[in-house]
Amino acid sequence: MNCTRKCAATGSSEVRPAGGLSRAAALRYKRGFVAAARGIPGVRRPMKHAVRPLLAAMSAVALLAACGGNNEEAAESKVLNVYNWSDYIDESVLADFQKETGIKVTYDVFDSNEVLETKLLAGSTGYDIVVPSANFLERQIKAGIFQPLDKSKLPNLANMDPALMAKVARHDPDNAHSVNYLWGTTGIGFNQTKIAERMPDAPTDSLAMFYDPAVVSKFKDCGVAVLDSPTEILGTVLIYLGKDPNSESPEDLAAAEKVLMSVRPFVKYVHSSKFIDDLANGEICLTMAWSGDVFQARDRAAESGNGIKIDFKIPREGTTMFFDMLAIPKDAKNVDNAHAFINYLMRPEVAAKNTNYVNYASFNLPAQQMVNPEILGNPAIYPTDEVKTRLQVDLAESDAFTQLLTATWTRFKAGQ
C-alpha cells in the first residue's frame, strides 16, 4: 500500500529503476537488487523522497547549462512532474517524450488510490499529472481538486473510443477533467503448476478460489496474496455473495467482512504491487489482482526462463473493472507541459507501446493496429462482448461508507 518507489526520467540514458522498466532491464535490475539486498524479490529499492529536491536541482542545473546557463525561466518551463501507478508505463515513452519536446519528466509511482487521494486532499503535491481511478476521480472532482482540461490542446482525443469515453463521463461529466490512460479488471492470477498439484480440479475461473475457505486453504503453503485495495476487493466479495458490488448497505458489508475474515488465515500478505515479482519468481501461487500486472508476472517468468507458468482469469461470477484517468491538479505549475504529455500519450503508436508493455487496454482505437495480436486477442485484456457482460463498474463511495469500509479493511489486514 505504501509504495514509494520512484522512477525519475532524468535523461535519455538515466531512467532510474522502478515500475516502468523494460522487461529486459527489469530482469537485469532485479538480479542486481536481489543479489545486493537479499530483500523481497523484485521489490526495488525506493528512492527516498529526500532525494527529489536534489534531483530537481540537478535537473535545473543541467537544463540551464544546456540553455546557455542564464535563462532560469526557460529551464523551469521545461519540466513535468507525473505521479502514476507503478508498473504502468514503457519507460522509453518518457525518454522519447523528453527527446522530442525537451521537457524533463520526473515520474513518481504509487500503488493505491487511497495513498494518492490522501496526498491530493492535503494539497500542494507538486504534481502536474496524477492518475486516479475513475471512481476516486469522481469525488475528487467534486472536491475541486482538478482543473478542467483545455481540449484545444488535446487534438489526439479524436483517437479515443467514443463509447468508452461516454462510459467514463459517468464519473467526469463531459470528460471535462480527465482522459483515460489505461483500463483493466480485477481477477484471479495463479501459478498453473502449483495450483494443479494441490487441486487438479481447482475452480481457477471462480471467485471461490479466494472466498471459499475449503478451496483457498489448499494453497496456503504456496502463498496467497491479495490486493490492498478495499473498494475493489469488497466489490468482488459482494459479487461472490450474489450482491451488488456497489452496495453501501452495512448488512452487506458485514456479510462481506465475514467472508474476508474466514479466508484471512490463508492469505500470506495484502499488497498491491509486490505480487508481480513474487508470482513470477514462485514466491506466491495465487493472487486476486489487476489483469495487466498478472500478465506482466507471466511475461517476467517467461523471460527469466524459470519455467513458471502464470495465468489470469476473469471470474465467471463477474468482477469489477477500473478506468485509470489522467488529470491535472488545480495547483499544477506546468499546465501546458501536462497537456502536451497527455496528448502525446494519446498518439496511437505511444498508446500501443504502453499497452504492449504493461498488458492493459487503452481507449485508443487506431492504436489497436499496433497492439500485439496476442494482447488484442486476449479477452482478459480486450474483453469480448460476452466477457463485458460480467464486468461491473466501481462507483464512487460516499464518505460515510468509506469510513465503514476502512474499518473493515483494517480488521481484515490485521486478521482480527
- Give the residue among 182, 190, 186, 207 at the shortest CA–CA distance from 297: 190
| Pairing relationship of beta strands 129-130 and 224-226 according to DSSP bridges | unpaired
Q: Which is nearer to ligand SPD, 235 or 329 (CB)?
A: 235
Strand pairing report for 224-226 and 286-290 = parallel
Query: Shortest Cβ distance from residue 112 to ligand SPD (Å)?
Result: 8
Residue 289: CB minimum distance to ligand SPD, A? 9
Angle at 313 between CA 169 and CA 39, to 5 degrees: 95
Least gap, CB of 143 to ligand SPD (angstroms): 18
Q: Of 257 and 293, which CB lies nearer to ligand SPD in the complex structure?
A: 293
Only one of the segments 49-57, 80-88, 214-222, 252-260 lies at the binding site for ligand SPD (rule: CB under 6 A); that segment is 80-88
CB of 246 to ligand SPD, least distance (A): 13
**Shortest approach of ligand SPD to residue 13 CB, angstroms?**
25
Contact set for ligand SPD, span 342-381 (CB under 6 A): none
Is residue 183 a contact residue for ligand SPD (CB under 6 A)?
no
Report the candidate in 101, 121, 93, 118 with the shortest Cα–Cα distance to residue 182.
93
Radius of gyration of the chain (CA): 21
Give residues 284-343 in contact with ligand SPD (rule: CB under 6 A): 290, 293, 322, 324
Q: How many binding residues for ligand SPD (CB under 6 A)?
A: 12
Q: How far apart, in Å, are the Cα atoms of 405 and each of 75, 117, 161, 300?
A: 45, 16, 34, 34
User: Which of 59, 86, 92, 364 is in the footprint of ligand SPD by CB under 6 A?
Assistant: 86
Our finding on whether 232 is near ligand SPD (CB under 6 A) is: yes
Q: How far is the CB of 415 from ligand SPD (least distance, A)?
A: 23
Give min distance, CB of 110 to ligand SPD, in A: 10
Side chain identity, residue 374? E
Give the cell for residue 310. Answer: 502464470
The span of 33-41, 50-58, 84-92, 340-348 binding ligand SPD (CB under 6 A) equals 84-92
| Beta carbons of 289 and 87 less than 8 angstroms apart | no
Q: What is the DSSP letter of 127?
A: -
| Element containing residue 375 per DSSP (H, E) | helix 373-376
According to the binding rule CB under 6 A, does residue 185 interact with ligand SPD?
no
Report how far Cα 89 is from the mean position of its chain's Cα atoms.
Answer: 10
| Residue 397 binds to ligand SPD (criterion: CB under 6 A) | no
* CA–CA gap between residue 61 and residue 70 (Å, rounded): 10
Q: Which residues bind ligand SPD (CB under 6 A)?
A: 85-88, 113, 133, 229, 232, 290, 293, 322, 324
